[in-house]
């Protein structure tokens, strides 16, 4: 029996003058389960530390400073874990082309980190080679440093679409080639 054909993860919406490509974040079930259990322990530690800080009768300066630094680091670590968990649960990348503007948004619920680029200044868009080793090291990326598709914008290389396979990246680049204000000079 043959392996079923994978239809891809990207959801492409075309309209007159508009192209939207939505790439849902990859659901890494083991990491999501691990983070769920870890966050319960983290929350217990957070509450214990806060109770400990506010219940000390005689505040020793060293203990107070140490606990404040520790609780700050602990809180930041927990917030990062929560963001990663929500990214895998409901996050997605949205690539939009409209009126000469190419935008890349990373969305988690109401949080929207968006960058916009002029299509006329985009050069050498292509599928990025050998990104899997970087993708495996980072669970999510909001800095456009990794991804399956890349282009040059001035003296910077912008990468996006890090939660798709190479074959799907090639399909998206082909879709971009035949749509919305791109010329052959935009592609490698």
Structural domain includes residue 1: no
Tokens of 81: 């874990």
Q: What is the pLDDT of residue 135?
A: 45
Q: Is the dihedral of CA 147, 112, 115, 78 positive or negative?
A: negative
50 confidence band (pLDDT: 50, 70, 90): confident
Last residue of a domain, one of 41, 65, 88: 88
Cα(49)–Cα(71) distance, integer angstroms:
7
In this structure, is residue 4 part of a structural domain? no
In the chain, the percentage of residues whose pLDDT exceeds 90 is 39
Whether residues 137 and 53 share a domain: the answer is no
User: In 3-state terms, what secondary structure has residue 96?
Assistant: strand
As a whole number of angstroms, the distance between CA 53 and CA 59 comes to 9
* Number of domains present in the structure of the chain: 2
pLDDT in tens, 122-141: 988 889 876 554 444 454 45
Residue 2 in any domain: the answer is no
Single out the residue in 65, 88, 111 at which a domain terminates.
88
pTM equals 0.77
Same structural domain, 141 and 160: yes
Q: Let me know whether 18 and 100 are in one domain.
A: yes
Give the model confidence (pLDDT) of 34-45 as tens digits: 999 999 999 998
Q: What is the pLDDT of residue 185?
A: 65
Query: 42 lies in a domain?
Result: yes
Confidence of residue 91 (pLDDT cuts 50, 70, 90): very high
Residues spanned by the domain of 55: 30-88
């Amino acid at each position: 029996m043959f392996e079923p054909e994978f239809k891809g993860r990207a959801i492409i919406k075309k309209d007159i003058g508009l192209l939207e490509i939505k790439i849902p974040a990859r659901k890494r079930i083991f990491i999501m389960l691990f983070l769920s259990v870890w966050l319960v322990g983290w929350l217990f530690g957070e509450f214990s530390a806060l109770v400990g800080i506010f219940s000390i009768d005689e505040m020793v300066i060293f203990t107070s400073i140490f606990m404040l630094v520790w609780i700050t680091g602990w809180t930041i670590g927990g917030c990062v874990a929560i963001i990663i968990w929500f990214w895998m649960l409901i996050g997605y990348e949205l690539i939009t082309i409209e009126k000469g503007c190419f935008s890349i948004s990373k969305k988690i619920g109401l949080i929207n980190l968006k960058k916009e680029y002029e299509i006329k200044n985009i050069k050498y868009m292509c599928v990025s080679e050998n990104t899997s080793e970087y993708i495996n090291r980072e669970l999510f990326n909001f800095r456009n440093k990794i991804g399956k598709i890349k282009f040059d914008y001035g003296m910077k290389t912008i990468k996006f679409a890090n939660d798709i396979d190479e074959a799907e990246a090639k399909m998206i680049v082909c879709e971009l080639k035949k749509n919305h204000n791109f010329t052959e000079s935009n592609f490698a």
